[in-house]
């Protein structure tokens, strides 16, 4: 009887996610599903209710995953449990997306009726197909007057090989088609398989830190049952924990007595650190646990690195504290202490990608009130030393002397760019300028072209995405994944200010580009560094060889000639005001360098 009851419960469950490009309406569609199923009371409802972070609401993106359980009564009276696993919508979070997909049986592939299929949609679709997910094609925003529903339907048919009548048409804004969509979810997506009596096995697809119950794992249970008080263990480390609490997701977490095979929910572990609850790891019970982890776990690997320094050295401890707090919730953020001759004490931080870097930096400044200088983003180089050893180098300033190096290998990514056909030439040019190599080109339909390139990640992180957008009037979309490390003729380019290296601006560049890059950088710095008491010499150098040079001329005359009794207060107040203004300047030796100079290197033409 009990077994039959459990089997029935599983049969009435559907676990699914939504795959969509930014702005194609994923969060709004989620709002409609919550409304239509009566999951949230009217007073709990607001736009993009699942994106709770201020930054998510503002940028219209999902950073953290927000699963939610909906109870749905079909027209014929039968009841179902629908678990929606909202996934992060950016290429930086590729791995997180793949784990979320692994927790589902089905996916809604949502495409904007005006914009059509984008690069990232395709890659995530392939990811879903790899996980054997049932894909339901959905055209959203059909209420828009400029909607190209037939055109997008054509794209779907080409991509999925589906029939036209399998494609759902909805307007998340007006709610049109949402009931049909709910019925399609139940009819087409298979119910979860699994054995409630087998050893307990659950996949962690996300985690958060909660000060009361410690690290909380977001899980999909595949087999067996977890209960409050169980001792649980993971496979990525040797620690074990006692389940403090477990249950389902609504807008908040709803505690339950147990979580069973087929269910999506959370397990509060009591772990002091989210790093014990790693995305992709498998949770099992200590007693009669499973012996093999679920497949697909890899450690989240930072791809982009940047030094973060407080503008005011006194803020160092606050920055440390803020990073520790952010890391409690974000295991993919890594950092270690670092000292820069120019910037003082700070941290070399590792990020999943540029958006991740931007988000962390913005949160540090916004939520923690810190004023930061970030060094030029760079990547992880593998350096083959003369003695045959491989050195991993995440900080260009640490690259050894050329005489000690046999070769330098840099990360190469495979990038997919989808663009309207009229911008193909521009896209190829911009990519070749960044040492890209074209791998393939394919017409997705009569309008859109998919281009695949192999490209050094370092070239990509600096400004490739911005460039791509600007040469395609915003239409090109980009996705990429790590391919390999490959050797090239790479050199370390130092920037010297009055002969002292400004290590925060050191970068690794291709030898052929060192001169141009160095000159652009020197010119930009010349624009940004104000005149000072003495001449400021700005040089770019490879080793001891100077490849470019500019100078900032000193003041000729900078004097207030008259200063008697009545002028003194005015003079002092002016000095105090100027001193405040200079807090945004970094003193390097005795040269004042404005904070913008450290950012401007990102914008330098090459």
Partner 1 sequence: MAPPRAPQPSPLGPGGGLYIHVPFCRTLCSYCNFVRTADHDTDLRARTVAACVAELALRRGKCASLSEGRRQLRTAYIGGGTPSALEPDLFTALLSGTVGKLPVAPDLELTVEANPESFSPAVVDAWRSAGVGRVSLGVQSLDADVLQRLGRQCDPATARGAIVLACRHFERVAADWIIGPGVQRRRLLAELTEAIGLGVGHVSLYILELHLGSDLSAAVAAGRVAMPSDARTETLYLAAVDRLAELGLRQYEVANFALPASESRHNRAYWSRRPYLGLGPGAHGLYGRWRYANTGDLSAYLASIEAGQLPPQSIDHLTPAARRLESVVLPLRTAAGVPLGLIPDRALDLPRGVRAGFWTVDSGRLRLTARGFLRIDAIEQALARGLG
Among the residue ranges 61-69, 264-272, 482-490, 585-593, the one whose residues contact partner 1 (CB under 8 A): 585-593
The residue (of 46 and 557) whose beta carbon lies closer to partner 1 is 557
**The only residue of 589, 595, 596, 606 in contact with partner 1, by rule CB under 8 A:** 589
CB of 561 to partner 1, least distance (A): 4
* Residue of 490, 492, 493 whose CA lies nearest to 510: 490
- How far is it, in rounded angstroms, from Cα 136 to Cα 168? 8
Q: For residues 262-281, which are near partner 1 according to CB under 8 A?
A: none
Q: Is 215 helix (H, G, I), strand (E, B) or coil?
A: strand
CB of 581 to partner 1, least distance (A): 10
Sole residue written with tokens 């450690």: 299
**The only residue of 590, 599, 602, 603 in contact with partner 1, by rule CB under 8 A:** 590
The residue (of 175 and 594) whose beta carbon lies closer to partner 1 is 594
Among the residue ranges 140-148, 160-168, 229-237, 578-586, the one whose residues contact partner 1 (CB under 8 A): 578-586
Do 117 and 159 meet the contact criterion of CB atoms below 8 Å apart?
yes
Among the residue ranges 162-170, 285-293, 320-328, 574-582, the one whose residues contact partner 1 (CB under 8 A): 574-582
Q: Is 459 helix (H, G, I), strand (E, B) or coil?
A: helix
- How far is it, in rounded angstroms, from Cα 419 to Cα 117? 10
**The only residue of 4, 545, 569, 605 in contact with partner 1, by rule CB under 8 A:** 569
Residues 6+ apart with CB under 8 A from 292: none
**The only residue of 7, 575, 599, 602 in contact with partner 1, by rule CB under 8 A:** 575
Distance, CA of 251 to chain centre: 23
CB of 559 to partner 1, least distance (A): 5
**The only residue of 563, 599, 602, 603 in contact with partner 1, by rule CB under 8 A:** 563
The residue (of 145 and 499) whose beta carbon lies closer to partner 1 is 499
Among the residue ranges 220-228, 259-267, 279-287, 569-577, the one whose residues contact partner 1 (CB under 8 A): 569-577
Among the residue ranges 104-112, 208-216, 262-270, 567-575, the one whose residues contact partner 1 (CB under 8 A): 567-575
Indicate whether 499 belongs to the interface with partner 1 (CB under 8 A).
Answer: no
Among the residue ranges 151-159, 369-377, 452-460, 550-558, the one whose residues contact partner 1 (CB under 8 A): 550-558
CB of 530 to partner 1, least distance (A): 10
How many residues bind partner 1 (CB under 8 A)? The answer is 28
How many Cβ atoms sit within 10 Å of the Cβ of residue 289?
Answer: 19
**The only residue of 291, 446, 544, 558 in contact with partner 1, by rule CB under 8 A:** 558
Q: Which parts of 24-118 fold into alpha helices (H)?
A: 26-36, 54-59, 94-102
- Dihedrals φ, ψ of 269, to 5°? -95, -20
**The only residue of 443, 572, 602, 603 in contact with partner 1, by rule CB under 8 A:** 572
The residue (of 26 and 586) whose beta carbon lies closer to partner 1 is 586
- Dihedrals φ, ψ of 8, to 5°? -65, -40
Among the residue ranges 97-105, 251-259, 355-363, 584-592, the one whose residues contact partner 1 (CB under 8 A): 584-592
- How far is it, in rounded angstroms, from Cα 454 to Cα 568? 64
Q: Is the dihedral of CA 190, 195, 196, 201 positive or negative?
A: negative
Integer CA distances (angstroms), 184 to 14, 130, 179, in order: 11, 21, 9
Helix, strand, coil proportions of the chain in percent (round to 5)?
Answer: 35, 35, 35
Angle, CA 17 vertex, CA 219 and CA 361 arms, to 5°:
75
Among the residue ranges 9-17, 27-35, 105-113, 561-569, the one whose residues contact partner 1 (CB under 8 A): 561-569
CB of 505 to partner 1, least distance (A): 21
**The only residue of 46, 79, 545, 557 in contact with partner 1, by rule CB under 8 A:** 557
Reading the block at residue 3, the tokens are 């077994």
CB of 531 to partner 1, least distance (A): 8
- How far is it, in rounded angstroms, from Cα 311 to Cα 316? 9
* Residue of 456, 454, 351, 460 whose CA lies nearest to 409: 456
Indicate whether 560 belongs to the interface with partner 1 (CB under 8 A).
Answer: yes
The residue (of 101 and 591) whose beta carbon lies closer to partner 1 is 591
The residue (of 511 and 570) whose beta carbon lies closer to partner 1 is 570
Radius of gyration, alpha carbons of the chain = 27
Q: Is 591 helix (H, G, I), strand (E, B) or coil?
A: strand
Q: For residues 510-549, which are near partner 1 according to CB under 8 A?
A: 532-534
- Dihedrals φ, ψ of 534, to 5°? -115, 160
Residue 6: strand pairing partners: none
Binding site for partner 1 (CB under 8 A): 532-534, 554-566, 568-569, 571-572, 575-576, 578-579, 582, 587, 589-590
């Amino acid at each position: 009887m009990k077994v039959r009851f459990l089997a029935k419960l599983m049969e009435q469950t559907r676990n699914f996610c939504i795959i969509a490009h930014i702005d194609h309406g994923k969060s709004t569609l989620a709002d409609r599903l919550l409304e239509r199923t009566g999951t949230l009371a009217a007073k709990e409802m607001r736009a993009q209710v699942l994106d709770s972070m201020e930054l998510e609401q503002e940028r219209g993106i999902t950073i953290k995953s927000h699963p939610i359980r909906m109870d749905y009564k079909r027209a014929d009276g039968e009841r179902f449990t629908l678990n929606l696993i909202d996934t992060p919508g950016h290429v930086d979070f590729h791995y997180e997306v793949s784990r979320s997909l692994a927790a589902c049986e089905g996916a809604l592939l949502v495409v904007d009726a005006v914009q059509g299929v984008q690069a990232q949609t395709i890659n995530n679709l392939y990811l879903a197909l790899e996980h054997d997910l049932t894909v339901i094609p959905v055209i959203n925003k059909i209420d828009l007057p400029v909607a190209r529903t037939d055109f997008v339907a054509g794209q779907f048919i080409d991509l999925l090989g589906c029939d036209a009548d399998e494609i759902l048409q909805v307007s998340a804004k007006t709610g049109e088609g949402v009931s049909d969509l709910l019925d399609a979810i139940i009819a087409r997506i298979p119910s979860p398989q699994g054995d409630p009596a087998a050893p307990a096995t659950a996949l962690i697809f996300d985690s958060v830190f909660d000060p009361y119950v410690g690290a909380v794992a977001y899980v999909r249970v595949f087999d067996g049952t977890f209960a409050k008080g169980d001792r649980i263990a993971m496979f990525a480390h040797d620690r074990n924990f006692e389940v403090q609490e477990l249950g389902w997701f609504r807008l908040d977490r709803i505690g339950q007595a147990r979580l069973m095979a087929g269910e999506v929910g959370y397990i509060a572990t009591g772990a002091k650190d989210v790093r014990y609850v790693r995305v992709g790891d498998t949770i099992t019970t200590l007693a009669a646990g499973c012996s093999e982890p679920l497949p697909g776990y890899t450690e989240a690997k930072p791809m982009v690195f940047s030094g973060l320094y407080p503008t005011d050295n006194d803020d160092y401890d606050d920055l440390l504290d803020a990073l520790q707090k952010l890391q409690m919730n974000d295991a993919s953020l890594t950092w270690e202490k670092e000292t820069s001759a120019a910037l003082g004490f700070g941290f070399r931080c590792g990020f999943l990608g540029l958006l991740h870097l931007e988000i962390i930096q913005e949160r540090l400044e916004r939520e923690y009130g810190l004023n930061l200088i970030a060094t030029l983003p760079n990547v992880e180089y593998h350096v083959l030393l003369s003695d045959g050893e491989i050195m991993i180098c995440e900080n260009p300033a640490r690259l050894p002397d050329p005489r000690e190096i046999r070769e330098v290998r840099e990360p190469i990514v495979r990038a997919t760019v989808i663009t309207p056909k009229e911008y193909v030439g521009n896209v190829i040019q911009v990519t070749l300028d960044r040492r890209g190599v074209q791998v393939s080109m394919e017409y997705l339909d009569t309008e859109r072209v998919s281009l695949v390139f192999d490209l050094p990640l370092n070239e990509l992180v600096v400004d490739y995405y911005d460039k791509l957008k600007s040469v395609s009037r915003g239409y090109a979309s980009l996705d990429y994944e790590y391919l390999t490390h490959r050797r090239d003729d790479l050199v370390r380019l130092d920037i010297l200010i009055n002969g002292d290296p400004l290590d925060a601006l050191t970068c690794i560049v291709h030898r052929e580009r060192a001169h141009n890059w160095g000159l652009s950088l020197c010119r930009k710095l010349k624009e940004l560094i104000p005149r000072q008491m003495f001449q400021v010499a700005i040089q770019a150098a490879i080793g001891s060889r100077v490849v470019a040079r500019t100078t900032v001329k000193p003041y000729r005359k900078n004097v207030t000639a008259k200063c008697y009794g009545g002028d003194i207060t005015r003079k002092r107040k002016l000095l105090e005001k100027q001193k405040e203004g200079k807090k945004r300047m970094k003193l390097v030796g005795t040269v004042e360098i404005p904070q913008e100079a450290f950012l401007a290197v990102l914008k330098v033409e090459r």
